[in-house]
Amino acid sequence: MAGFLLKRLAQAVFVVMVVTLIVSVAVRMTGDPAMMIAQGATDITEADLERIREGLGLNEPFLSQYLATLSGLFTWDFGRSFLGGTPVSTLIGNALPATLLLAFTSLLVSIVISIPLGIRAAIRRGKWEDQLIRILSLVGLSFPNFWLATMLVLLFSITLQWLPPSGMNGIASFIMPAVTMGIILTATNVRLVRTSMLEVMQSQYIMVARAKGLSERTVLYKHALRNCAIPLITFLGLQFGGLLGGIVVVERVFNWPGMGSLAFDAVAGRDYPVLQSVIMILSTLIVLVNLLVDIAYGLIDPRIRTE
């Protein structure tokens, strides 16, 4: 297990390095930040632009700029924003907790709802409960998140005036963004739980557990659930990436002060240091979550632990 984790850790470092490299190269192909900063000034000369570039550190060799970005992961010094000069670490320090709170709330909500519903659908296979759950999950799956977010705001903030339409301010402000992100997650998770539960329930050891005289609840929650946890957490690990992707849109709609909003503004303003750092941190998070998934495998399944 220790050797396995070391190997995974080495892979994780490599992944973060490659992702950061790709982002650094790609962002430099989108245009010149000096032009962005100089926008509006009419009598700008090439010498002025050069001075701006010099000031931003863009005349350094690409490799040393890249390494500087990467070293931020260890020193927590990502340079300063091109726009306004705030240290990037301060921006991220404010945005990251907001995003993580929202992401984990959505994930938690989806797990809490989808596991019981998925199990219910599996044991009532073909009955009306199963049909209903499957139809509802398909409906949930079909909502585009930007549309759903807008509809929620229209209904609960503007018409009913129950919930704040934007910003992060207290528990109530979490409800709509978390529900928006949670619905799609829940819809896919319900289907996943249902399918893997159906498969596990066909196993011989479930028949054996029933033959022991165990109650149906013990059979389900002790013998079956742990065996369908493997595909479930694999999927949750993968979902986490998609979740952080979807967060850009949702944060935008609800004006959530998170990494998504930060990234959005950075792209618009060609703010290299902010964009690179945001993506590097998000990809590190995704890699770490998947590392945790690997550790969880070992805890859940002894066959993996002893290999």
Partner 1 sequence: MKDTHHTSLLSVQGLTVSFGASQVIKDLSFEVPLGKTVAVVGESGSGKSVTSLSIMRLADLNGATYDGGSIVLNPATRPTDLLTLQQDEARQIRGKDVAMIFQEPMTSLNPVYTIGDQIAEILMLHERVSRQDALTEAVRLLSLVRLPDAQGVINRYPHQLSGGMRQRVMIAMAVACRPKLLIADEPTTALDVTIQAQILDILRDLQAELGMSIIFITHDMGVVAEIADQVVVMWKGEKVEEGPVETIFATPRHPYTRSLLSAVPKLGAMTGQDYPLKSPLTVLVDGRPEQVGETRVQDTAQMAAAPLLSVRDLSVRFDLKKTWYGKVTHVCPAVTGASFDIHPGETLSLVGESGSGKSTIARAIMQLNSPSAGDIAFDGKPMSRMSLAERQKLRQEIQYIFQDPFASLDPRKTVGWSIAEPIRTHGLMDNDRNISRRIGELLERVGLPASVATRYPHQFSGGQRQRVCIARALASKPRLIIADEALSALDVSIQAQIINLFMDLQKDDGLAYLFVSHDMAVVEKMSHRVAVLYLGQIVEMGSRRQVFENTAHPYTRRLLSAVPHPDPTHRREPVRLEGEVPSTTRRIGDEPPAAIHREVSPGHMVASN
| Choice between 45 and 215, CB closer to partner 1 | 215
| Choice between 207 and 268, CB closer to partner 1 | 207
Answer for which of 39, 75, 169, 306 binds partner 1 (CB under 8 A) is 306
Q: Is 302 in the site for partner 1 (CB under 8 A)?
A: yes
Rounded CA-CA distance 66/226 in Å is 44
CB of 95 to partner 1, least distance (A): 40
CB of 224 to partner 1, least distance (A): 9
Query: Within 10 A of 184 (CB to CB), how many other CB atoms are there?
Result: 23
The string of DSSP codes covering 36-70 is: HHHTT-SS--HHHHHHHHHHHTTTS-HHHHHHHHH
Rounded CA-CA distance 217/224 in Å is 10
121 with 130: CB under 8 angstroms? yes
Q: Among residue numbers 157 through 216, which ones bind partner 1 (CB under 8 A)?
A: 203-205, 207-216
Print the binding letters for residues 110-139 with partner 1: x by CB under 8 A, - otherwise.
Answer: ------------------------------
CA distances, 251 to each of 66, 174, 178 (Å): 28, 11, 10
Print the binding letters for residues 219-258 with partner 1: x by CB under 8 A, - otherwise.
Answer: ----x--xx-------------------------------
DSSP state of 112: H
Contact footprint for partner 1 (CB under 8 A) = 3, 203-205, 207-216, 223, 226-227, 300-303, 306
